Amino acid sequence: MPELPEVEIVKQSLNKKIRGKTIKKVSVKNRNLRFKLASNFEKKIINKKIDRINRFSKYIILKFDDNSGFVIHLGMSGTIHLIGKVKKNTITNSSFYHSPNLPKKHNHIEINFEKIKLIYNDPRRFGYLLIFKNEEELKKKFTNFGPEPFSKNFTSIYIYNYFRNKKKNIKSFLLDQKFVSGIGNIYASEILFFCRINPSKKAKNLSLNDCKKIFYFSKLVLKKAIKQGGSSIRDFKNTTGNQGKFQKNFKVYQRENLNCLKGGCKGVIKKKFISNRSSFFCNICQK
């Protein structure tokens, strides 16, 4: 599943390609996504102009000039493909997941602009598109979400107070969108490595200094990932011609049984399942 940095890259791609453009035609081949696509989806977005493209957590938000719009969540396997109508581009995927080219199957939604079209592809159909009428309705969508790592509300004090008397382990909290929005499995493992915190450690046992590390390295790791184009699990470029490179800098993720990369540490990277998710950590320097 794409995490905050990868979704940010998709948002940036959409900003370059479709911002300011008007929707000319909408074709829906399959409404049965994670949440069934609204029966009036086509009617609600046709002839609307894309005014802004934002991101919150792992969600892409396309706003029209009347403050209505729709939210896209890519789920486990969703991708957005951008195809030029005049000059056919060979690489269509706006992200770094799955095929770089438009697949022949599972192209559920097609949104046409004047010189380009957007296609939503999703083999597993865990993603969805959700219409909102105005800003207030959009905010309700994210009522139960915690702050993003880049938010002014995400502070070391917020983290410390949140963790008081909490018995759940820290890795599970980093994946809990009610605590912090946007961090997924890959970056949670990387953040905890830099913090030198074992993913199984109970949140209530974390010191204020530990919380300061989580605050600092959450921002640092995610910023680096965005700067490097996200994590490209497969080796290809997206529609902007860029390639995700952060996977080349993984310190622990998918490095099971390899030596720890911390200078002077003789530890080995171990893999453990926490909350049914794979966690990677150094058996020595992560306490």
Give the end-to-end CA distance of the chain in Å, rounded to a whole number: 28
Point out the catalytic residue in the list 11, 58, 251, 255: 58
Q: Give the largest Cα separation in the chain, rounded.
A: 62
- Tokens 């046709």 correspond to 46
Asked if residue 199 lies in contact with residue 169, where contact means CB atoms within 8 angstroms, the answer is yes
Asked if residue 26 lies in contact with residue 111, where contact means CB atoms within 8 angstroms, the answer is yes
Distance CA 152, CA 172 (A): 22
Give me the residues paired with residue 54 across strands.
Answer: 61
Is 204 part of the annotated catalytic residue set?
no
Is 87 part of the annotated catalytic residue set?
no
3-state secondary structure of 14: helix
Is 171 part of the annotated catalytic residue set?
no
- Angle at the Cα of 222 from the Cα atoms of 218 and 223, rounded to 5 degrees: 115
- Tokens 């905890």 correspond to 192
Point out the catalytic residue in the list 219, 245, 270, 277: 277
Is 3 part of the annotated catalytic residue set?
yes
Point out the catalytic residue in the list 3, 6, 8, 148: 3
Active-site residue list: 2-3, 58, 277
